[in-house]
Structure 1
């Protein structure tokens, strides 16, 4: 997921897909290139990806982050990118790649789910909203693009069961856009405030413990109905985390919580 300046769209690689544009693609084990795209990747993980994968593996979000991810704070960025840690083998394969294909296929990350379509985000000044732009960008070795199955961007998202991913990625993009400027002040992007924000966004199991077992609820008034939802529902605690970070860092009012 990249933020795109409107004047740069024409210069980006791949074919920009409008809403009704079509493309051909079908990946299956009969292709000579099958699984070749699952190697040596800079594969970005979004917060909802972590929920799906950690639940699939039966581990906590903290365990998943420690075992399977790398957090990279790039120069001039104010929030780390989270990438999937490739296996330490000769091919630097995805850690979930098996001989028969993806071992977590039903819960694969958003980026894998949409491949070979890539998405970027830009702010539409006319509508004053953030929206997705799609590009058809298969690698040169991909043979799936010669198959006869036809898709539009919408049917591709539906066909890959990506609607929930799409919705959650947009919510994350709306929050992440705020990190284009420095919210940390003197404490910096690796200070205690930054660690708290990272916990709320990516380490939701630890954030849930923080909400219910620290002095959090003495500081913040949270509706009882919201507390019921976030106690056991991972998507709800993630949404709550997004709202808390916006309130905590920028003072943006939320229907989820307020100071006591």
Structure 2
């Protein structure tokens, strides 16, 4: 068992030891244990992208409707990077709790719920380009699962709880978050449009799909018709593509090939817009100037003077 330490908040339920897949823990949760559903009644569940896909499918909703009804937003860092948590009722109980029966979406429960009481850590050593996945243990007073006799390796517990599929589809997203955090001021606060794109491409897959399949997107990026068809059919493939797109948006990586003349087209389109705005503003100012002089009292004019000769007094 690894005994590396990391900083945690004072009185945190998270153990300061960094553990690995071979670490053995004592834990078992089952219907009938005295604390059954206690964690669901004190829910603080942050969602990752694949969690949203599984839950919106389970509930038969679009991602947009799921986000509006069952999640609340929060800022993951000082730059305003958007995150989401599962919504609870006024007592802090998860809205997916099905009374005494337990989780109402158990087969599609989020990553955090599957891992509990293990916490997944994405750690990157200084000078390394890749993050290592390690773990820590969460011990909360209400949880009696730690008192159970069963001993199990963390690696086996992950397999038992079905987190490997979730990790495979969320891994690149965790790396994006870590890269942004480690880059610090060299990246700076992303513009608001980038944050909006991050939210859409991370969580709102149905809206992101409409964005990717739009004529404007197709004319901008070089992707095959077969690839677009795959994005239309598969949430998982669309999610993988969203990570490529976010690397380009957030870090300027050329992860999605643009059409040869896409940049020139955007420049030309923007020039047309700015030229139109400039012409409109000039006309607006001229009209305002004419209106101002039209309402000047006659006493201010002399017979040998006309409004066009007057000096501007703005």
The TM-score bracket by the shorter chain reads 0.7 to 0.9
Between 1:132-141 and 1:203-212, the stretch displaced more is: 132-141
2:299 aligned residue? none
User: Shift of the alpha carbon at 1:53?
Assistant: 0.3
2:6 aligned residue? 8
Q: Distance in 2 between matches of 1:240 and 1:246?
A: 10
Quick check: 1:172 aligned with 2:170? Answer: no
2:137 aligned residue? 136
| RMSD across aligned positions (CA) | 2.2
Q: Distance in 2 between matches of 1:233 and 1:39?
A: 34
**Kept after mapping to 2: 8 A contact 1:78/1:179:** no
Between 1:169-178 and 1:118-127, the stretch displaced more is: 118-127
Q: Distance in 2 between matches of 1:19 and 1:107?
A: 23
1:92 aligned residue? 92
**Kept after mapping to 2: 8 A contact 1:54/1:64:** yes
1:3 aligned residue? none
Which structure 1 residue ranges, 5 or more long, are not aligned? 1-5
Secondary structure of the residue aligned to 1:93 is: coil
User: Shift of the alpha carbon at 1:234?
Assistant: 0.4
1:98-125 CA distance string (max 9 Å, x none): 1200010000000000101112221034
Instruction: Identify, as 1 or 2, the structure richer in strand.
Output: 1
Q: Distance in 1 between matches of 2:168 and 2:248?
A: 21
User: Shift of the alpha carbon at 1:74?
Assistant: 5.2
1:8-56 CA distance string (max 9 Å, x none): 3599831532332201111111111100011233210000100000000
**Kept after mapping to 2: 8 A contact 1:70/1:85:** yes
1:47-66 CA distance string (max 9 Å, x none): 01000000000101111111
Q: Distance in 2 between matches of 1:73 and 1:20?
A: 34
Secondary structure of the residue aligned to 1:129 is: coil
**Kept after mapping to 1: 8 A contact 2:5/2:18:** no
Which TM-score applies when normalising by structure 2?
0.73
1:58-117 CA distance string (max 9 Å, x none): 1011111111111112562341121111123xx321110012000100000000001011
Instruction: Identify, as 1 or 2, the structure richer in helix.
Output: 2
1:25 aligned residue? 27
User: Shift of the alpha carbon at 1:214?
Assistant: 4.2
Secondary structure of the residue aligned to 1:18 is: coil
Greater relative CO (CA pairs within 8 A, separation 6+): 1
Q: Distance in 2 between matches of 1:253 and 1:95?
A: 41
2:118 aligned residue? 117
Q: Structure 1 stretches (4+) deviating beyond 6 angstroms?
A: none
Q: Distance in 1 between matches of 2:57 and 2:18?
A: 34
2:49 aligned residue? 47
Count of residues in Structure 1 that have an aligned counterpart in Structure 2: 248
Q: Distance in 1 between matches of 2:127 and 2:193?
A: 38
1:259 aligned residue? 258
Q: Distance in 2 between matches of 1:203 and 1:236?
A: 14
